[in-house]
């Protein structure tokens, strides 16, 4: 079994690193290529949700000593991650002439993984605290 490094900061969480990396990809490689008519709707939603996920993980981590406090932030991050899946699906299905659909699919998979990681972290966090 692989030995895991201790969690000393929110930056040690795989889900934080994955969601941060995905947010940079969305902001740099998806949003600028959307058509002008989507810059105030879909692009804005993508921008807000992409940035929100790692921020919620970071903020929630500061409240990790409060089971319900941390749980709320993880739940909110998971909701934003699920929103990203829907928004990126819209991009893939509506704007494939502007953005590479395979790249969208890669990001959808990454956000799906992040949603599952957030769920698992939220259900197992009390076990981590006992170690």
Let me know: does 31 contact 47? Beta carbons within 8 Å.
yes
- Dist. CA 97–CA 71, nearest whole Å: 40
Q: Which CATH fold topology does 39-130 show? A: de novo design (two linked rop proteins) (1.20.1440)
Q: How confident is the model at residue 131 (pLDDT cuts 50, 70, 90)?
A: very low
- Give the lowest-confidence range in 64-68, 115-119, 121-125: 64-68
Q: Among residues 97, 103, 89, 82, which one has the least CA distance to residue 42?
A: 89
- Give the lowest-confidence range in 2-6, 14-18, 56-60: 2-6
Q: What are phi and psi of 125, to 5 degrees?
A: -60, -40
Question: For 1-26, what is the mean pLDDT?
Answer: 88
- Dist. CA 75–CA 66, nearest whole Å: 14
Q: pLDDT tens-digit profile of 57-111?
A: 999 999 888 868 888 999 999 999 999 999 999 999 999 999 999 999 999 999 9
């Amino acid at each position: 079994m692989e030995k895991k490094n201790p969690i000393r900061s929110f930056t040690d969480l795989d889900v934080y690193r994955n969601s941060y990396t995905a947010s940079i990809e969305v902001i740099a490689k998806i949003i600028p290529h959307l058509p002008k008519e989507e810059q105030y709707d879909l692009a804005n939603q993508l921008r807000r949700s992409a940035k929100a996920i790692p921020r919620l993980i970071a903020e929630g981590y500061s409240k990790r000593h409060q089971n319900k406090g941390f749980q709320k932030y993880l739940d909110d991050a998971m909701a934003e991650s699920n929103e990203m899946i829907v928004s990126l699906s819209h991009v893939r299905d509506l704007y494939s002439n502007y953005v590479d659909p395979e790249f969208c699919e890669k990001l959808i998979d990454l956000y799906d993984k992040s949603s599952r990681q957030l769920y698992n972290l939220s259900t197992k966090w009390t076990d981590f605290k006992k170690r």
